[in-house]
Structure 1
Amino acid sequence: MFILPDGKVSICEQLYWLNDFIIGDVKYQSIQEIWSSEKATNLYDNVISLYKKSEICSRCSSLQWCAKNKRKCWVKILKAYNTMSINHP
């Protein structure tokens, strides 16, 4: 979690003002509220239901382990695919 100069909170210091990764604003919410918000939880947790059957991760035998251990880096995903694909490169 990274607090930006304007009070907005991003999940990562490399994703700063990208709206998809802004999970709250410390001017209006506590850190606890931001951390446990639905948006934060969805970004931090690999939600298995988000994987499309056509994506390679959905067919991987390690998917459950990956989802449980949060082994996803949104920066790497954006660099590889230029989109918020759930796949990890």
Structure 2
Amino acid sequence: MTDFENVMIALPAHGHPFTNLKERSIEIIDHHQERLQTIRDASHQLIEGTVTDYMRVLFSERAWGDMAESETYAHLEHLKESGELTRASNNGIFTYTNTD
């Protein structure tokens, strides 16, 4: 997204249209990097944390819910795929553990 030079206006799935696609893309990337770091830091305390456990670290209580869990799950899976976390299934509930 940061390489699209000729885009005049972006029409996001939510929120208002905007014209600064490159800058907004960088903001979103930075935001997700911060979220990933928060999960990395929390993984040392949570040991075998569930998606819900990590969601409660990432989001304020008023934001808890399906969307917050979905975003949290995506971040956890990203860190699993990069080798930073492992995932286990206990009675159908995923738990994530730091690989350190």
Which of 1 and 2 has greater Rg?
Answer: 2
Q: State the TM-score, normalizing by the size of structure 1.
A: 0.30
Q: State the TM-score, normalizing by the size of structure 2.
A: 0.28
- Which has more helix, going by share of residues? 2
